[in-house]
């Protein structure tokens, strides 16, 4: 008995077809990845030490010790860029999106 096609099933044309949901997820993942990557890359390319020194100047009137602000400012560009690389590569997407959303 021949198999009948379901209403939502794509006919087989001998070509691998990517379902719309997977394609939409890949495009969204790529866009978010580029967004995260560019946020970190901007600070990395303009100079990490200049960025962290600027943060120290901005936080002089707060209770935070300058050493902690400097350490945070030095790490931040790389922490912003890492999720972008992971998302573009498609690695650990769910944990990366959860961590990136919390940041």
pLDDT per residue as tens digits for the range 32-48: 899 989 988 998 998 99
CA distances from 91 to 7, 19, 63, 77, 88 (A): 33, 20, 38, 20, 8
Q: What is the pLDDT of residue 94?
A: 83
Q: Which residue ranges of the chain lie beneath pLDDT 50?
A: none
pTM: 0.66
Q: What is the pLDDT of residue 4?
A: 62
């Amino acid at each position: 008995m021949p198999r009948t096609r379901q209403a939502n099933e794509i006919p087989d044309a001998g070509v691998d077809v990517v379902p719309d949901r997977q394609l939409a997820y890949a495009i969204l993942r790529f866009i978010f990845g580029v967004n995260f990557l560019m946020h970190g890359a901007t600070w990395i390319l303009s100079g990490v030490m200049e960025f962290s020194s600027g943060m120290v100047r901005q936080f002089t009137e707060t209770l935070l010790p300058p050493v902690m602000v400097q350490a945070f400012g030095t790490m931040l560009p790389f922490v912003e860029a890492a999720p972008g690389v992971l998302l573009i590569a498609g690695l650990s997407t769910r944990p990366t999106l959860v961590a990136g959303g919390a940041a």
